Amino acid sequence: MEKFTLPAGFDAGERAEMARKNFLDGYNCCQAVLLAFTDVLGITPGTAATVASGFGGGMGRLREVCGTVSALTIASGYIHPACDPSIKSDRTANYAIVQELAGAFKEENGSIVCRELLGISSKAKESPVPSDRTNEYYRKRPCAELAGCSARILAEKLIRMSQEQA
């Protein structure tokens, strides 16, 4: 596992609130979570927003894997990179982290699939045009809370890793 130095006062609840606020500020669900961890992952906010830009709405509004879970998957690459395809143990460790984080999300929310989390029919075809962020939108969507949930799950994982390496 990669070594992480968490900033002083690193707090899972604060990271969850950061992700929630990011979503309410207009970032997509994946961006909202990843942006809450740029300091820990060693990436710039611009890189995080760019890399995560296509994962909103369950991958470009396809309503597949929840964007907040996609953020967990992206973060797992920074937690335990698997850059060399010949090193199977790195890929195994990376996939184990993905499964752990996604499993924790699914346990809390019942699914990792965007359409299921939003109660959208699997037959509904979505436009690529993002929904306007209105008060009504925020009342209907649990996305801000899901971003907070994913951020908390990731923060708790990082805290456990930090304690294990101490």
* pLDDT string in tens for the chain (166-residue length): 466 689 999 999 999 999 999 999 999 999 999 999 999 999 999 999 999 999 999 999 999 999 999 999 999 999 999 999 999 999 999 999 999 999 999 999 999 999 999 998 877 788 888 888 888 888 888 999 999 999 999 999 999 999 888 7
What pLDDT is recorded for position 1? 46
> Which tokens sit at 121?
């029919």
Q: Residue 127 in 3-state DSSP?
A: coil
Q: Which of 46, 104, 109, 54 is nearest to 76 (CA)?
A: 104
Quick one: CA dihedral 91, 164, 10, 106, positive or negative? positive
C-alpha 44: how far from chain center: 16
Quick one: CA dihedral 157, 61, 109, 98, positive or negative? negative
Contact present, 97 and 157 (Cβ < 8 Å): yes
Name residue 113's beta-bridge partners: 65
What pLDDT is recorded for position 95? 97
Length of the chain in terms of residues written: 166
Contact present, 80 and 92 (Cβ < 8 Å): no
What pLDDT is recorded for position 3? 66
What pLDDT is recorded for position 125? 80
